[in-house]
């Protein structure tokens, strides 16, 4: 077994080692390329304050680029007996470059190293989630516009209530995603602050240039107070988890609607055949398994903030090993949500809408309010109109031409989709992902 960075003369018990390392080596593979980026910025700063020579810096940067490429290709591995990604990178540098590889940890702790790794990983994942949300948004807006004149029943208490439309149904989920993206942007802004240089949470006696590493990594600003930088572990993940949960909540509700509306009792929509599955004994079945799994996965993601809070809420300031466990629930959540968004986008793009739902008179009573409003507009007091229509329904005499004339903002006849698109564009622009991307590209090009 290789010696750990922190070991001196006493070697740790194997069972203690297995228990304390846990799944950390597996989780650290998510962070590998980000660990390299953070180290590239750190050593560039170390050279600027005289802790590395220019030659040492260039040799380290060149080898780190090779490790980065390996991580991007999925070829990076943490060897048996190596505790974590930080130890593996340092080992690889030392094998190639000798003692100079041991210099990269000056002025740094694994505490601020994993903090910066997590932030670099998370902001990249938030960009990918935002892009996936935007793709779903545009499909929903497109379908809303396409089917804006197709009426469907609206429900309260799962009872038919008032006329709705597929324009409203698709558009409602599109606008919901705008609010979700606002929360995602806030999470990104909180994430995009630099903790590097806080070391173990109390700074360093080296004259570190934290402004330099902030600029090199493309952070909006640094976490200034070194104690708060360390306190941000867990808090950042929790805040991001709330944003992921918000998106998941929207997608879960949409999945439920799609499952219900595609059932024979409703027959409002038809899901693509390739997105349904059959039964082992019932030849007629076309089950909405994709949306059922999407619903379950999204509901699991909605529990993520609570999982993180239960791990970190009763901790005082300073670092504790408890925080390691957050990785296990947090890091895989992004791909799970991106998968759900991708599946939902595909199905919503290909879903078929029943354009003749209201031909069935079982939905006739959704027009009762239309009739009440018509009578009120002609001068009858609203309460009298309400009573007349109610008595007509009880007597089986209610009729209506099944037409609606809604004109106010956000209604069937005035969806305001153009306004919703502008809102989304404003939120997307506010992320300013380009600054992050340009900084990382410049660092890799050094």
The residues near 15 (Cβ < 8 Å, ≥ 6 apart) are: none
| Tokens (6 digits) for 72 | 């991007």
Active-site residue flag, 157: yes
Give the bridge partners for 414, in sequence order: 411
Q: What is the DSSP letter of 362?
A: G
Of the candidates 109, 164, 176, 279, the residue annotated as catalytic is 279
Nearest to 167 by CA among 146, 144, 151, 150: 144
Active-site residue flag, 109: no
As a whole number of angstroms, the distance between CA 204 and CA 107 comes to 6
| Tokens (6 digits) for 395 | 């007597």
**Strand stretches in 228-340, DSSP E:** 269-270
Of the candidates 34, 42, 70, 157, the residue annotated as catalytic is 157
CB 164 within 8 A of CB 117: no
| Tokens (6 digits) for 235 | 């808090």
3-class secondary structure, 49 = coil
CB 139 within 8 A of CB 171: no
Work out the angle at residue 210's Cα, subtended by the Cα atoms of residues 183 and 219, and round it to the nearest 5 degrees.
Answer: 25
CA distances from 143 to 39, 192, 345 (A): 46, 34, 11
As a whole number of angstroms, the distance between CA 10 and CA 4 comes to 11
As a whole number of angstroms, the distance between CA 42 and CA 214 comes to 10
3-class secondary structure, 169 = helix
Active site residues: 157, 279
């Amino acid at each position: 077994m290789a010696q750990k960075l922190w070991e001196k003369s006493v070697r740790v018990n194997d069972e203690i080692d297995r228990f304390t390392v846990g799944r950390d080596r597996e989780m650290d593979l998510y962070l590998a390329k980000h660990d390299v980026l953070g180290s590239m910025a750190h050593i560039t700063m170390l050279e600027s304050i005289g802790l590395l020579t220019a030659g040492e810096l260039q040799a380290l940067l060149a080898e780190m680029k090779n490790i980065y490429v390996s991580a991007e290709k999925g070829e990076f591995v943490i060897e048996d007996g190596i505790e974590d990604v930080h130890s593996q990178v340092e080992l690889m540098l030392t094998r190639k470059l000798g003692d100079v590889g041991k210099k990269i940890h000056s002025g740094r702790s694994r505490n601020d190293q994993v903090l910066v790794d997590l932030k670099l990983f998370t902001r990249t994942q938030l960009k990918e989630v935002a892009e996936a949300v935007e793709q779903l948004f545009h499909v929903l807006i497109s379908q809303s516009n396409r089917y804006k004149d197709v009426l469907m029943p609206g429900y309260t208490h799962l009872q038919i209530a008032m006329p709705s439309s597929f324009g409203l149904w698709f558009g409602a989920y599109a606008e919901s995603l705008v609010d979700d993206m606002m929360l995602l942007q806030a999470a990104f802004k909180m994430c995009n602050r630099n903790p590097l240089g806080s070391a173990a949470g109390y700074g360093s006696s080296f004259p570190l240039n934290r402004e330099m590493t902030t600029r090199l990594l493309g952070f909006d600003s640094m976490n200034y107070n070194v104690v708060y930088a360390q306190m941000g572990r867990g808090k950042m993940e929790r805040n991001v988890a709330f944003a992921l949960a918000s998106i998941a909540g929207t997608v879960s509700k949409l999945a439920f609607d799609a499952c219900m509306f595609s059932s024979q009792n409703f027959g409002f929509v038809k899901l693509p055949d390739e997105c349904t599955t059959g039964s082992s004994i019932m030849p007629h079945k076309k089950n909405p398994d994709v949306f059922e799994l999407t619903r379950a996965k999204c509901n699991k993601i909605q529990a993520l903030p609570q999982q993180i809070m239960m791990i970190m809420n009763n901790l005082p300031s300073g670092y504790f090993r408890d925080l390691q466990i957050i990785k296990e629930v947090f890091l895989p959540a992004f791909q799970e949500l991106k998968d759900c968004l991708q599946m939902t986008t595909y199905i919503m793009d290909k879903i078929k809408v029943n354009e003749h739902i209201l031909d069935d008179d079982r939905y006739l009573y959704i027009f009762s309010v239309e009739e009440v409003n018509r009578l009120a507009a002609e001068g009858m007091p609203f309460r009298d109109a309400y009573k007349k229509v109610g008595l007509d329904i009880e007597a089986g005499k209610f009729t209506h031409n099944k037409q609606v004339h809604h004109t106010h903002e956000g209604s069937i006849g005035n969806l305001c989709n153009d306004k919703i698109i502008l809102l989304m564009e404003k939120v997307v622009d506010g992320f300013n992902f380009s600054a992050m991307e340009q900084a990382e590209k410049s660092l890799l090009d050094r």
